[in-house]
Amino acid sequence: IGAILSGYLASFFNLLATNAAWAPAVIIGGLLPVMVMFGLHNAVAPLGIMQMSQLGFDSIFGPGALVSNIAQGVASLVVAFRTKDKKLRQIATAGGITGLMGITEPALYGVNLPKKYPLIAAMIGGASGGLYAGLTNTHRFATGSSGLPAVLLYIGDDTLKYLVNILIALVISAVVTAVLTVVLSFRFEKIGRAHV
């Protein structure tokens, strides 16, 4: 089933890249955690590499994956800041740091998915950053990790505009995620306002 869905997903993203170039960054920015859970990201990531081999840049997978991973890391770090549970704080801090470096599974499976509200906040934050990246046609010029060190992959074409745009997209993603995670924590966590 996964292989069949992956084929359709690849065709869908190719269609989007041709007809609505801004859309892949939004979709991947928002839905990458769900795609990772089902292994569907493995169908989309190669499209970015194919685009890079043909056009010299990747706007299909890279920008959306980067903003999504930063959002996952930020959501986990906010949980670490907000929780009273010492064990959860340790897990969320470590997961948040690795998420910012591009490895989101500890944050996703250890904190954000079990708690649900950080995952929702991260998906909205990732889609928000992805929207900016998509609308500004931000793309990367090399493949690599989708964490903070990857911002250097956005330097190319004798301009820094893609680097500046991905940094703005990351700030949007981080701020939206952090604000939503804090706001939702008041509803879903047993924490008094005095502990903010």
SS3 for 159? Answer: strand
What pLDDT score was predicted for residue 191? Answer: 56
Give the up-direction half-sphere exposure of residue 89: CA atoms within 13 A in the CB hemisphere.
6
Contact partners, residue 115, CB within 8 Å, separation at least 6: 79, 188
Q: Summarize pLDDT for 7-61 with one digit per residue, the tens.
A: 777 778 777 777 787 888 999 999 999 988 887 787 778 888 888 888 888 888 8
Is the distance from CB of 191 to CB of 82 less than 8 angstroms?
yes
Q: What is the pLDDT of residue 45?
A: 82
Note the pTM of the prediction, 2 decimals. 0.88
Q: Dump pLDDT digits (tens) for 66-118.
A: 999 999 999 999 999 998 889 999 999 999 999 999 999 999 999 999 999 99
| CB of 129 closer than 8 Å to CB of 116 | no
CA angle (97 as vertex; 151, 32 as ends), nearest 5: 65
Q: Which residue has the tokens 């499209």?
A: 47
Task: Look up residue 38 and give its amino acid.
Answer: F
- The Cα–Cα gap between 4 and 17 comes to 20
Secondary structure (DSSP) of 147-163: SGGGGGGG-BTTBSHHH
pLDDT of residue 194: 42
What's the CA gap between 159 and 175, in Å, rounded? 26
Give the number of other Cβ atoms within 10 Å of residue 67's Cβ: 38
Under DSSP, is residue 156 helix (H, G, I), strand (E, B) or coil? strand
Rounded to an integer, what distance in angstroms lies between the CA atom of residue 153 and that of residue 176? 24
Please give the DSSP secondary-structure letter assigned to residue 152. G
Task: State the burial class of residue 96 (Cβ atoms within 10 Å of its Cβ: 0-12, 13-18, 19+).
Answer: buried
Ramachandran sector of residue 191 (left: φ over 0; alpha: ψ -120 to 50; beta: rest): beta
Q: Of 170 and 193, which is predicted with more confidence?
A: 170
Q: Which two tokens stand for residue 167?
A: 């940094």
